[in-house]
């Protein structure tokens, strides 16, 4: 009876675990899906309030996708000899505003945007130690901007200093 019980337990355990070949196939498939996930967000508006300072970020379009070494969209395969993954994040019409709100909570006088309708490309290059490594051994980021219109007023400078100080004091994740 004990032998039958241990044989039944072994059969139940082997049916719960996929065969090694199937497990490897599923892992490779999930890895390929993860490497090629793309997304696009349209009309993104973020607001952050700190004391009497309001930071607003507006993005017309944000898109992230896999690409080749020349930054053209493609299906990515992380393979020997380099084990590289290239991703491109494109932000279109990025506008950043910093305003001061009154004690009633309303912004009575809007300042000029700090950054107005800027488009950014963030090129990300990840190097892996093997085709099955889940975490890159090296990550490189390059930000490209064709046109950058910055405008800071006397009122916005102290507010930006407070926001940057708060950001630098934030605990890391």
Average pLDDT of the chain is 85
More confident call, 125 vs 167: 125
Residue 173: its pLDDT value, please? 57
Give which of 56, 55, 59, 58 is closest to 162, Cα–Cα. 55
Indicate the pLDDT class of residue 19, thresholds 50, 70 and 90. Answer: very low
Dihedral sign (CA 72, 74, 78, 82): negative
Indicate the pLDDT class of residue 23, thresholds 50, 70 and 90. Answer: low
Find out whether 131 and 85 touch, Cβ atoms under 8 Å. no
Find out whether 111 and 150 touch, Cβ atoms under 8 Å. no
Three-state DSSP class for residue 91: strand
pLDDT digits (tens, 9 = 90+) for 58-114: 999 999 999 999 999 999 888 778 889 999 999 999 999 999 998 888 888 899 999
């Amino acid at each position: 009876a004990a032998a039958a019980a241990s044989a039944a337990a072994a059969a139940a355990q082997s049916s719960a675990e996929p065969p090694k070949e199937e497990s490897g196939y599923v892992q490779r498939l999930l890895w390929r899906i993860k490497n090629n996930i793309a997304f696009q967000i349209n009309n993104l508006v973020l607001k952050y309030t700190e004391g009497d300072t309001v930071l607003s970020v507006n993005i017309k379009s944000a898109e992230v996708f896999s690409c080749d070494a020349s930054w053209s969209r493609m299906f990515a395969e992380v393979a020997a000899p380099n084990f590289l993954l290239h991703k491109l994040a494109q932000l279109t019409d990025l506008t950043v505003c910093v305003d001061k709100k009154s004690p009633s909570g309303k912004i009575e006088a809007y300042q000029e945007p700090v950054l107005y309708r800027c488009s950014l490309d963030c090129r990300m290059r990840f190097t892996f130690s093997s085709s099955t490594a889940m975490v890159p051994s090296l990550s490189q980021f390059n930000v490209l901007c064709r046109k950058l219109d910055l405008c800071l007023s006397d009122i916005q400078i102290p507010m930006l200093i407070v926001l940057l100080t708060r950001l630098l004091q934030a605990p890391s994740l």
